[in-house]
Amino acid sequence: MERNHDVALGASLGNGKQLSYSHTNALGSPKMIPKIPGLLLGLDDSFRLSLRPELRFVEWLLRFMGNSTGPAYRRNTLQTLALANESRRAIDRLLERHLIEFDRRKVGKLVLLRGRKEVQAARASMELKQKAGLRQNLLSAGEAAEIEPALVQSSDPLTAALYAPDDETGDCNLFASELSALICREYGVGVLTGREAVSLERKAGDTRVRLDTGEILSADQVVIASGYCASQLLAPLGHKLPITPMKGYSFTAPIGNAPPQVSITDSKRRIVFTRAGDRLLVAGIAEIGRLNASVDPARLESMKRSARQSLPEAADYSKVDAGWAGFRPMTPNSQPIIRQLEPGIAVNAGHGMLGWTLAMGSADRLSQAVAQH
């Protein structure tokens, strides 16, 4: 069931279009703690933290800080990598069985690194993930430009780049709509749209879902997969899910004279570039603690500036669209919550910065959790 008129119009609509199996670094890390005062003061255009006077939010923040130690960062990054690997295998299996057109491109990913500190941190994270089997290499600026000639346009010199050849891009919204149509057509599934679930209760061995229309649906098993809203539905049943929204932005523009083919993350500016046909998509910005869903023109402008500094010829930045903002459902450990909470009620939410990348492996884990119960 979906409250919008169609599926995948939430965070999945305007995201970065990356199946970023390599970029599983947890948000909470030892680098994060000393940055917190600056984030609170709004000193970083690409990452902001606003305090909310709610116990739930304070608890989330404390748990996030608890997950920002070195051992927690490494554990969380590797656990997300394991789920990303499962997802890659699961999407391959799905696409062997069914033709789903979603502009899939196996283009690889480059993470641009500037300065010695960035390179040191990237090397450490690469070595950690290589031990877990990830194909990722540290390249010199020259080697990176051989893989992606569009990099030479940047006036901000590169020190090095991380390259992950197995990362992909595609259209997340199209993938979700095509998958939804496929399961309805071939597996007898029904998708209810335009209805909102307002409450849940367990009664006589069933789970009952009350809708905004007043209807009540009964089922043996309900799965809550409503992104950052999942906690609201589950809290009255005593399930406190630590999920908080982290606002992000994206825009598209017509490609310019030198658009990249490879998917790119500029780590200093915290933006990603993805080629989508004759347009370039740029996504980024992290705002924790903001609940307003509208596109703030000043924030969009700052992201446009960053993109122009990073890859000035990649797009025609004078023709940027109106932009989009969405909420990443963040957990303190950057891992989704996938489990049977009680008989008849399961959850699959909190996929944070990588919800599309992790989707197929999460679905596999969910079906195992439900089957075991």
The binding site for ligand FAD (CB under 6 A) comprises 1-4, 9-12, 15-18, 20, 196-197, 225-227, 229, 233, 248-250, 283, 326, 328-329, 349, 351-357
Of 167, 163, 145, nearest in space to 260 by CA: 145
Contact 151, 144 (CB under 8 A): yes
Of the pair 3, 35, the CB lying nearest ligand FAD is at 3
What's the min distance (Å) between Cβ of 2 and ligand FAD? 5
Of the pair 32, 233, the CB lying nearest ligand FAD is at 233
Residue nearest to ligand FAD (CB): 355
Calpha distance 50→43 (Å, rounded): 12
What's the min distance (Å) between Cβ of 120 and ligand FAD? 25
Of the pair 145, 288, the CB lying nearest ligand FAD is at 288
Structure tokens at 144: 């990176």
What's the min distance (Å) between Cβ of 352 and ligand FAD? 6
Structure tokens at 5: 């008129």
What's the min distance (Å) between Cβ of 174 and ligand FAD? 14
Residue 285 CB burial class (10 angstroms; 0-12, 13-18, ≥19):
buried
Structure tokens at 330: 């963040």
Residue 186 host element (H or E): helix 172-187
Contact 201, 219 (CB under 8 A): no
What's the min distance (Å) between Cβ of 250 and ligand FAD? 5
Of the pair 150, 325, the CB lying nearest ligand FAD is at 325
Of the pair 104, 123, the CB lying nearest ligand FAD is at 104
Calpha distance 344→239 (Å, rounded): 14
What type of residue is 199?
A: S
DSSP 89: H
Residue 94 phi, psi dihedral angles, 5° rounding = -60, -45
Query: Residues 6 or more apart from 267 whose CB is under 8 A from it?
Result: 111, 112, 113, 114, 118, 122
Of the pair 15, 136, the CB lying nearest ligand FAD is at 15
What's the min distance (Å) between Cβ of 140 and ligand FAD? 26
Of the pair 30, 194, the CB lying nearest ligand FAD is at 194
Of the pair 102, 356, the CB lying nearest ligand FAD is at 356
What's the min distance (Å) between Cβ of 365 and ligand FAD? 14
What's the min distance (Å) between Cβ of 326 and ligand FAD? 4
The separation between CA 329 and the C-alpha centre of its own chain, rounded to angstroms, equals 8
Q: Is 81 helix (H, G, I), strand (E, B) or coil?
A: helix
